[in-house]
Structure 1
C-alpha cells in the first residue's frame, strides 16, 4: 500500500460500514498483518480464530469487526471461535496507531474556478467531507473498543485520525507541447490542512550539490499515470512558473509546497511561459542514462528549460531536496537573466521610534540568518520585523538602486536553534517534519505573495559569519571599505556546519550558495562584482554580521547580541 494513503474525497462517508467495506481498508489491514508476520508479533495470537494455514481470513476478520460496531464481544462468541478481548483490544489499538502513522491525503476532484464565491463553496464542502470522514474514523474506533472492553475512563482524546491534507485537483491541460508524454496527471490547485500536520520522513539531511547537465530530457521521460501515482503542483517561485510532478509516496513534500510557495492559478498556467520543471520521486530505472552522481538529484538544461529530477531513494525523502532543487532552478534562471541570486534572509526592521532599515543576510544553512531575524523580533525596541526573504531571493537594479525580490511565502525553519516556544506558537498553521530528530524542521507561512515579489531597496548587505567569537559590540558587525574585500569574504562562503546537511566542521561554499551559483561560478562572479560595486556607489552598507551560532556556548546568545547591534545601527540611521 505504501506510506501515503489516498482517501477518495468524492465520497461522503456517513456510516462506519462504508469504511469497513472499502477496499482500501482491507488493503490496510492486510499490510498491517503482513508486518506483524514479519516481526512474528505476539499480536498475531489475537487472530488465531481467523487463521487458515499460514494465512488469515481477512474478510472474515472485517465481518467480525463490523459485528463489533453493533454488539458486545460477549454476545457474539457463538458466531466465531473465542477471541480474547484483551488481546483484541491491543490489536485494534495498535492497528489504529498504524493507520494514524500513515501519511493521509484526501483527493477531491473539483473543477477550478476563478469565481471566488464558487471557490469558497468548493473549499467549504471539502472541509465538511474531510471532517465527516475524520469523525467517522474516530467513532468507528471508539465503538469497537467500547464493545470489546469495559469503558471505565472519563477522558476522551480527539486524536488526529482523518486526512492530514485535502488536495483539490482538476484536469488542467499544460499549454506547452513539451509535456506531451505527461498524461492524465491531476493538477493540484488548492489544499486544506488539518493541523497539527506532522510527517515523518526517511531522511533528515541534504547531501551534496546538484550537478547541472546539458541534456534533452523531457521528451525521454514518460509519466502516463495509469496507476494514479503522480500529481502536478504548479507553483510560482517569485514570478517564475515551475511545474512540480510528485509521486504519491512523496505527497508530504507536495503538501510542504503549499506552505512555502504560491500555488499558480489557471491564469498563470495559461499566460506564463514554463520556467522550470521538477520531477520528485522518479525511479532511477526511468531516468535516461542514469549516473550514480545523480543519486541525490540532478538538474538538466534542456534547451532553454531547466528540469530537476530527484530519484526515488530513501535518502532523498527529505523536504530539503524539494525546496533546494526548486531554488536551484530559480537561481540558474536568474543568472541567465543577469540578476544576482542570493542565498539569505531579508527583512524590513521597524523600530518603535519610527525608524526602519532593510537588512539582507547572506549565508548557508545554519549560519544564523533566520535566528537573527527571530532575535530582532523579540527585542523590546523593535516594533515588528517584516520578513520578505527567508532563504532565497534575487537582486536587480531598478532606477539606479539595488532592489531585492523574494521567492517563498513561507520558511523551512530549523527548530533546534530557535526558542522552544516557537514550535508551539506556529503549530496551528505549520507542517512539522521529524520533530523528534536532530535538524527537526517546520514549514510555516510568513508573508503574502504580493509583498515578496515587490522590489525592495536594501540598506544593509551582510555576510552571516557563525564561527568567529567576538566579545565587543564593535566587532559584532563590521563593514568593508572596498569591493575586493567584500567579494573575497562573500565568495569564500565560510561557516561552521550545524548538522543541517551531511557536512561537519568548518566548510566553504562559493558565495554560500551551492544552489546554482557554484554550478555557474564564472558567470555568477561577474554579476556579483557588478552588484557589489553598485551597492558601494549607492550607499548600501556591505559588511559581516557575527552570529556566533556555530560557537559553543553562544548558540542562543550570539544571534541576540548581533540583533541588538543591528538595532543600534538602524537607530542611528
Structure 2
C-alpha cells in the first residue's frame, strides 16, 4: 500500500470528471476497497450491488459515484441497482478520510529562472493550481454527500483535502560534479505549504550510532529519475544533495522547513560537500547483507569522488525524520572535523534583556537534555526582550581573530512536543510540519531564523553543558562553572544525560561530547580539536560550565528548564 500520493501540478482541475476519470482515482478506490475487504468491514455491505462473483467491479463503482455527483440517489435508483443511502454515506465519508490520511504532494515542472519576479509568478501559479484542485475535491465530496442524503450540510468544514505540499522542480546539472544519475533526477527548487501539514510515519524513534565506512558508493548506486527527487539544501555553509524516494517525500518536505533550499544557480557552480539518500532498497546497497549495522543508516567516505555519502535504507523502522536530519548532520560534522573545526551538538542564542544587557549562550547536550526547552523558557520571561536563536540542534565552532565563534546549520527546529509548554504547537501551527502528533516523541518542524543570521560568525559568552539528570534545590547550584579546561573537557567528553524517549535508549546514558553524530566516529581527532577550543575559551574569558535543566527528573519536566532559564537571566543581569 502506497502512503504517498503525487498529484500532477501541470493540470488545472476544474470538474469532477477530471478527478474520477483519472487512473490514480481508480487506483485509490481499488486500494480502499481491498483494505475494507481485508478488514471484513461493515462497509462491504454498501458494495453488494457492485459484486461480480467474489470481486468488486471498481470501474462500475466509480461510474456510479460519477453519476451520483450529478444526480440525486433517488433518480439513480431508477436507472441502476438499489444502494442503501445510509450505508453509502458512511462509505463516502470513510473513503474521503482514507484520501485525507494520505501524504499528498503536488509537483509541477517549471524551469528555474534567476529573475525574482518571474519566479514569484511561477510560485503564484502553482498556488492557484493547488487551490483549484483542493476546491474541486471538497466540492466533489460535498456533492456526493448531498446527493446521497438529500440534505445540504448545516455546518461547512473546510477540511484540508488538497495537496499538503507543492513542489516546483527542474532538471539541473552540476558542472563541478560529473555524475549521470544526479543530473537526471528532478531537482526541487521551490516549496509551498498548505498548513497544517500533518504526517504520520511508521516510526518515531532513532537508535544506534551511524557507522562510517570507506567505499566509492556513488559509482555503485543507480537511482531512477521517475522515483526520486533531489532536494539541495545548505547545511551551514555546506552544500548538500538530499535525494529522497517519492514514498518518503514527507521527510523531503521536512527538509524544506528545516534547512535553506539551495538555488540551482549554486548547484551549477559548486560541487556538493555531502550527499544523503533516503529510502534506498537494501538490495541496491553493495555489501548490505553482510553489514546489519548499516540497517538504520550508514555514511560512506567516497574517496574516488572525495565526498561523504549518507544512506538510509528502505525499512519501516527508518521511516522517521530524525534519520534524515541526523544523517545529514553527521555528514556535516565529519566534514567539519576533517577541516579542524569543532562540531557542536547543542543550541545557541543571543539573549537580550529589557535592561539592555545581552549575552550569547551555547548549550551542549544530546537529545532531550533541555537545550531548546531552556531557550523557549527564556523567551517567556518578562525580563527578556528577545531570544534570537542561531543554533537549535547542531553548529560548529571556529577561531577568528583569536576568538571562538559559532555557526549554525539549520534555519528551523525539529522540536519534541512533549517537552514544550501547552499551546506552543498551536501557536506555530500555520508554519509547522507535525510528525505523529498523537504519539510519544511527537515532533514539530518549525522555522525559527533566516539563513544569513545562522551563518554569521557569532562570538560566544557562555559555553554550558546541559545536565538534565542532577536535581538541585538551591538557585546558586543551577549553573556552575569549571575551574580548569581539563575539568570541562572531562564533563563534556562523558556526555551524560537521562534518556527522554527520543531514541531507543532508557535511563542514564553517556555519549562522547553528547555528539554521536561524527564526534564518536572520529573521536581521536575530535578530542584534539576540542582541547584546543576549550583552552581558547578559558584563555579569552568565555564562561565554561554546566546548566542543570532537570528535564529528565520526574516532576521537573516543565519547571526545570524555567528555573535554569531564570538562573541564566540573573547571571546576564550581573555581568
Alignment TM class, shorter chain as reference: over 0.9
1:177: how far off? 4.4
Partners of 2:374 and 2:44 lie apart in 1 by 53
Q: 2:250 aligns to what SS in structure 1?
A: helix
Match of 2:17 in 1: 17
Match of 1:417 in 2: 419
Match of 2:527 in 1: 525
Matched, 1:346 2:344: no
Matched, 1:40 2:21: no
Partners of 2:530 and 2:361 lie apart in 1 by 18
Which structure 2 residues correspond to residues 496-507 of structure 1 after superposition, within 5 A? 496-507=498-509
1:41: how far off? 1.3
Which structure 2 residues correspond to residues 3-402 of structure 1 after superposition, within 5 A? 3-151=3-151, 153-182=153-182, 184-225=184-225, 228-290=226-288, 291-303=291-303, 304-402=306-404
Matched, 1:513 2:515: yes
- 1:207-254 Cα offsets, whole Å, 9 max, x none, are 1000000111110001133xx211010101011011011001100000
Partners of 1:278 and 1:319 lie apart in 2 by 13
4+ aligned runs moved over 4 Å, structure 1: none
> Compared with structure 1, are the counterparts of its residues 153 and 143 closer, same or farther at alpha carbon in structure 2 (3 Å cutoff)?
closer
Paired residue for 2:450, among 438, 448, 451? Answer: 448
Which structure 2 residues correspond to residues 468-507 of structure 1 after superposition, within 5 A? 468-507=470-509
Partners of 1:230 and 1:338 lie apart in 2 by 34
Partners of 1:332 and 1:495 lie apart in 2 by 23
Normalising by structure 1, report the TM-score: 0.99
Where structure 2 has 5 or more consecutive residues not aligned to the other structure, the ranges are none
- 1:431-463 Cα offsets, whole Å, 9 max, x none, are 000001000000000000000000000000000
Q: 2:535 aligns to what SS in structure 1?
A: helix
- 1:449-482 Cα offsets, whole Å, 9 max, x none, are 0000000000000000000000111100000010
Partners of 1:385 and 1:430 lie apart in 2 by 19
Alignment check: 8 A CA contact 2:72 2:150 kept: no
Q: 2:545 aligns to what SS in structure 1?
A: strand
Partners of 1:41 and 1:153 lie apart in 2 by 26
Partners of 2:552 and 2:151 lie apart in 1 by 53
Alignment check: 8 A CA contact 1:170 1:188 kept: yes
Partners of 1:175 and 1:288 lie apart in 2 by 27
Alpha-carbon RMSD: 0.9
Partners of 1:520 and 1:467 lie apart in 2 by 27
Alignment check: 8 A CA contact 2:173 2:268 kept: no
Alignment check: 8 A CA contact 2:146 2:153 kept: no
Paired residue for 2:438, among 432, 436, 439? Answer: 436
Q: 1:65 aligns to what SS in structure 2?
A: helix
1:267: how far off? 2.0
Where structure 1 has 5 or more consecutive residues not aligned to the other structure, the ranges are none
Q: 2:273 aligns to what SS in structure 1?
A: strand
- 1:91-140 Cα offsets, whole Å, 9 max, x none, are 11100000000000000111111101101101110110000000100000
Q: 1:416 aligns to what SS in structure 2?
A: helix
Alignment check: 8 A CA contact 1:181 1:219 kept: no
Partners of 2:574 and 2:355 lie apart in 1 by 11
Matched, 1:534 2:532: no
Alignment check: 8 A CA contact 2:177 2:271 kept: no
Partners of 1:184 and 1:374 lie apart in 2 by 43
1:62: how far off? 1.1
Q: 2:184 aligns to what SS in structure 1?
A: coil
Name the stretch that deviates more: 304-313 or 170-179: 170-179
Partners of 2:298 and 2:176 lie apart in 1 by 22
Partners of 2:270 and 2:376 lie apart in 1 by 35
- 1:283-322 Cα offsets, whole Å, 9 max, x none, are 1111110021100000000012100000000000000000
Alignment check: 8 A CA contact 2:171 2:183 kept: no
Alignment check: 8 A CA contact 1:409 1:448 kept: yes
Name the stretch that deviates more: 153-162 or 444-453: 153-162
1:176: how far off? 4.2
1:57: how far off? 1.3
- 1:171-190 Cα offsets, whole Å, 9 max, x none, are 11122445224453110000
1:152: how far off? 5.8
Alignment check: 8 A CA contact 2:174 2:183 kept: no
Alignment check: 8 A CA contact 1:477 1:544 kept: yes
Normalising by structure 2, report the TM-score: 0.98
1:55: how far off? 1.1
